[in-house]
Structure 1
């Protein structure tokens, strides 16, 4: 039985009241306990960015579903010829596989958003707040919807229904709303497999040692498998935001200032290799070494930690000799 796009339910419509209640509850706790989780200027920026993202997501939904349907129908003869079926249908186990496949896609989409500057420019707005609260979940880039579906194309090729794919993407986004809070403690057993607010704080932190970690959506196992997992250290103060925050907080600046910086960098060099790297290289790359990528910063941090460790291991007599 096929589900028509026109009749496809919108899961977000059912969760909006829950989102609103939880945000108000978190804001109340913040005010009551003086936690300073919210401020008016930051919240207004998140609100306007979120409204714009919701509108653009709605407008591009037809494009995403249409692209999935095009691929889905185009590859049906090949599935029949080589795999022996027209499509995977709607069985419960197909839903499970689609959810896992969707989350795998999200991990790589999210990881490339942090390692390729052009994609970082689209994703940067989500990290632009120095606050970490449930309202931050709505800070989604306005241009990210244009290229995001590319990572999902293999699912309709295999025969997953496009509507099922779209619903799984929505479920993933809904789950991630609940990750944006500092009020939830560490959940040991659940947190070994699933993403939680505890480890997602690491992802939103701008501490050098936390950069580019914990990219998972629903599952955290992808980060464990592919080497990007890092647990939150209780003794380390978590600083949220980005290393070079924007000077203005209006939604236009938040969404497009990095694209403008890319354009300036591309114009500033003559080498085509340098131009390419300013667009598709990692954020922080520079042709003259004047800036540093997250890997370079983390390497420096690790070297400093090793020096501190080695100096703390020296005997008092060694230190006296070294000071002579």
Structure 2
């Protein structure tokens, strides 16, 4: 009975976690080593919900749940967890070093106001991280694995690019300079990631007025679609307001076609994860200037101005 009650408490907690519903004071920590591994704690809920969705899609005969596709997504998630466990300290170390040496303000680690500031700040940084991952070729070569599934389901949320761990932390360093405590940043980065799990589904329709502010399944279906009008849209993590402000928002209008513009056509884990680097590697057969342009070429409005010449 106690085990069942404990499991029930964990599932209720996981359900609240997926919606970014947190006890603010309970999640404030002074030191990084005190921060629980929220993402790893959420993994059982991820797997259970993905399994339930798979069964539901199969019973409805919707043809939206290929077993091989689920397998490579789950395998990617497991490899990502292993890489994060082994190398995840690198962005934390970089952030903490910047914070210790060059922070501009002394922000308290146990402040409710700083907690909410960090929530917004982390999502703002995630927007630019996510946008760069799409608009810079060498970063897209890493990130495309997450978009390679031709299905859109909760398993696809776990198809995480294994190499992103080494580069994405740099986008959050402005928060360290502003003085956001490392433990608070680390917690919110996990919360933001966990929230994005449930928006990878076709089973949730429009959420009405909530879609004006929050990233939802409808908005994220657009992001994962390869329809021409949907390409490079809806980069927000928890909030959709950044896309509305910076001109990258698109509402769901026509049925999405999922996957890449040029699909991988493979269920091999490493082909999915690393196959796009072949195109980038081909750049080295052309003159150095052209190779560099191809390596960092950007087609987005802001990044294109910065990276093209």
TM-score norm. by structure 1 comes to 0.81
Post-superposition shift, 1:46?
0.5
Report the equivalent of 1:21: 48
* Aligned equivalents of 1:58, 1:166: Cα separation in 2: 14
| Deviation (angstroms), 1:273 | 2.7
Q: Hey, what does 1:292 align to over in structure 2?
A: none
2:90 corresponds to = 63
Runs (4 or more) in structure 1 with deviation over 4 Å come to none
State the match for 1:93 in structure 2: 113
Aligned length: 274
Q: What is aligned with 1:5?
A: 32
After superposition, the CA RMSD in angstroms is 1.8
Q: Is the 8 A contact 1:107 1:222 kept in 2?
A: yes
The correspondence for 1:245, drawn from 263, 277, 284, is: 263
Q: Which residue is 1:123 aligned to? A: 143
| TM-aligned CA deviation for residue 212 of structure 1 | 0.4
Asked if 1:51 corresponds to 2:81, the answer is no
Q: Is the 8 A contact 2:107 2:114 kept in 1?
A: no
Matches of residues 280-319 of structure 1 in structure 2 within 5 Å? 280-282=296-298
| Structure 2: gaps (5+ residues) | 1-27, 305-309
Q: Distance in 1 between matches of 2:240 and 2:136?
A: 21
Contact (CA 8 Å) 1:88, 1:94: kept in 2 or not?
Answer: yes
* Residue aligned with 1:238, SS: coil
The answer to whether structure 1 residue 42 and structure 2 residue 107 are counterparts is no
SS in 2 for 1:100: helix
- TM-fit CA distance, 1:258: 1.2
Distance in 2, matches of 1:203 and 1:174, equals 17
Q: Which of residues 271, 277, 284 in structure 2 aligns to 1:259?
A: 277
- Write out aligned runs for 1:178-257 (5 A): 178-233=198-253, 236-257=254-275
Residue by residue, what CA displacement relative to the aligned partner does 1:125-177 show, whole Å, maximum 9, x if unpaired? 00000000000001111111111011101111111111111110000000000
Q: Which gives a bigger RCO, structure 1 or 2 (Cα 8 Å, sep 6+)?
A: 2
User: What is the alpha-carbon distance in structure 2 between the residues aligned to residue 8 and residue 61 of structure 1?
Assistant: 14
The whole-number CA distance in structure 1 between the counterparts of 2:44 and 2:286 is 50
Query: Of the two, which has the highest radius of gyration?
Result: 1
Distance 1:73 1:87 in 2: 12
CA contact (8 A) 2:223 2:233 kept: yes
Q: Distance in 2 between matches of 1:41 and 1:21?
A: 18
Instruction: Give CA deviations for 1:168-214 in whole Å, capped at 9, x if unaligned.
Output: 00000000001100000101111110000011000000011110000
1:78-157 equivalences under 5 Å are: 79=104, 83=105, 86-157=106-177
Given the two structures, how large is their TM-score scaled by the length of structure 2? 0.84
Q: 2: distance between equivalents of 1:36 and 1:93?
A: 47
